[in-house]
Amino acid sequence: MPVVYYVRHGETDWNAEHRLQGQHDSALNATGRAQALQCGEILRDLLARDGRKPDELDYTASPLLRARASMELVRTALGLDPAGYGVDARLAEGSFGRWEGLTFAEVKARDAVVLASRKHNRWNFVPPGGESYAQVMARVADWHASLARDSVVVAHLGIARALLAHLGFALPEEAVRAPIEQNVIYVFADGSMARYA
């Protein structure tokens, strides 16, 4: 199984405001740009420790702006051409449908009954017009099966959680609550996940 160096995109204003972002195409804020550069520096040190060169890996990002901008900053920190990476639509964040742009407090005020049903089965819950974690995992599994070699991936919180479940590192009900931070490198290798900050 190829090694995956996983980066969650840097912070956006909607992250800072605790808004459901989903597939809304938000830009990084200043904090997010600093986080992405920090991830590039952490990755540079990890690769050097392991005697690896950055250009030996594949690089793939979600098509959403916040992930692409983060990838370009990571590659800059690695001394690589910022634009020299691929984009894969299967890595786009799960959709929150009609809830995108809302805080949980706003969702609760608008759709309290629907939101309450989420408590019993977060993995299979589908927001109005959106996707469940189970649906997201299907495309993540398809993407993961296509990996040809060790890869650096920049994507999203929901994608990382789906990958955790797909790889069997967490049960679905655990994966939906897994904290995936924005200034950390997660390494999926040898049947386990390691965290580097």
Q: What is the pLDDT of residues 1-38, one digit of tens each?
A: 899 999 999 999 999 999 999 999 999 999 999 999 99
The tens digit of pLDDT for each residue in 154-193 reads 999 999 999 999 999 999 999 999 999 999 999 999 889 9
Whether pLDDT at 138 is above 90: yes
d(CA 23, CA 122): 19
Q: How many domains does the chain have?
A: 1
Amino acid at 67: A
Report the pLDDT value the prediction gives residue 72, as an integer from 0 to 100: 98
**CB burial string 16-46: b at 16+ within 10 A, e below:** eeebbbbbbebebbebbbebbbbbbebbeee
pLDDT, residue 190, reads: 86
Query: What integer pLDDT is reported at residue 119 of this predicted model?
Result: 85
Measured torsion, CA atoms of residues 35, 37, 42, 46, in degrees rounded to the nearest 10: 140
Task: List residues with catalytic annotation.
Answer: 9, 93
- Could you give the 3-state DSSP secondary structure of residue 180? coil
The pLDDT of residue 115 is 87
| Domain CATH code at residue 126 | 3.40.50.1240
The dihedral built from the CA positions of residue 17, 126, 89 and 187, taken in this order, carries a sign that is positive
Name which of 31, 29, 47 is nearest 152 in CA terms.
47
Classify burial at 146, counting beta carbons within 10 Å of its beta carbon; exposed 0-12, middle 13-18, buried 19 or more: exposed
pLDDT (0 to 100) of residue 41? 98
Vertex 31 angle, CA 45 and 187, to 5°: 35
DSSP assigned state of 174? H
Can you give the pLDDT at residue 47? 97
Write down the pLDDT at residue 195.
97
DSSP string, 85-100: -EE-GGGSPPP-GGGT
Say what the pLDDT of residue 116 is.
Answer: 87
Q: Containing domain of residue 119, as a range? A: 4-196
Q: Which of the two residues, 115 and 43, has the higher pLDDT score?
A: 43
Return mean pLDDT, the chain. 96
Dist CA 176 CA 159 (whole Å): 10
- Kindly report, residue by residue over 45-101, the tens digit of the pLDDT: 999 999 999 999 999 999 999 999 999 999 999 999 999 999 999 999 999 999 999
